Amino acid sequence: MSAFEAALNAFDTVRSIKVQLAVAKPAAVGSGAVSVFLDELSLLETAQAGHHLSGSWYNPAWNGQGFFLDLANTTRAFDLPVFFGGWFTWTTTPGQRNWWTVQGQVRADRVSFSVFETRDGLFLDPRPVTNHAIGSGSIRFLSCTQAEVQIQLDGQPAQSFPLARLTPVPAGCANFFP
């Protein structure tokens, strides 16, 4: 016998979910009856990242650095919410800055993303810019005001650091955290 495990993420407006289970057998197996046994079915309430976490976030220990995050809920059933953000940070050369973008998908209380660097842009210049991936990471939301980032930039050791919300907490945000 083999085990099957799956997770289903529901939108914040969903109040009930209908789950149907089916067992399919190849024709060569025969036409005998099929039994399904559920012996540890559980429903877990987890935090859900979504539009209520959009806004400005920063690490209080690092002056002048942070993220502008936009978590957009989708409207089609079973689509994962999408995530986009701007990450403003400093280079290793004093006074120089990097503005990177992060984008990915939301799963429960976490967003997983790729980090992109854009180069060759000039103010009001219509020529195309170049974008390339420079790493990956995730943000885990602990509450409406606290989060933790894990980041792995190409050629550098992985890092983790806390984030605090800079912009006001929207009404009802606490409803998304158990």
What the block records as the tokens of 112 is 């997983």
Model confidence pLDDT, tens digit, residues 71-110: 876 555 455 567 889 988 877 788 777 778 998 888 777 8
Q: What percent of the chain has pLDDT over 70?
A: 67
Model confidence pLDDT, tens digit, residues 168-178: 998 888 877 77
Residues listed for the chain: 178
Looking at every residue in the chain, the average pLDDT score rounds to: 77
What the block records as the tokens of 18 is 């209908």
- Cβ-contact 88, 69 below 8 angstroms: no
- Cβ-contact 58, 166 below 8 angstroms: yes
pLDDT of residue 44: 46
110-119/82-90 β-pairing = unpaired
Is 80 exceeded by the pLDDT of residue 21?
no
Model confidence pLDDT, tens digit, residues 121-157: 888 989 888 889 999 999 999 999 999 999 999 999 9
- Is residue 67 exposed (0-12), middle (13-18) or buried (19+ Cβ within 10 Å)? buried
Taking the whole predicted model, whether its pTM rises above 0.85 is answered as no
Cβ-based neighbour number of residue 177 at 10 Å: 16
- What is the C-alpha to C-alpha distance for residues 20 and 146, in angstroms, rounded to an integer? 37
Q: Is 27 helix (H, G, I), strand (E, B) or coil?
A: helix
- What is the C-alpha to C-alpha distance for residues 162 and 111, in angstroms, rounded to an integer? 15
Long-range contacts of 60-67 (CB under 8 A, 24+ apart): 60/162, 60/164, 61/161, 62/161, 64/88, 64/90, 65/89, 65/90, 66/163, 66/166, 67/102, 67/139, 67/163
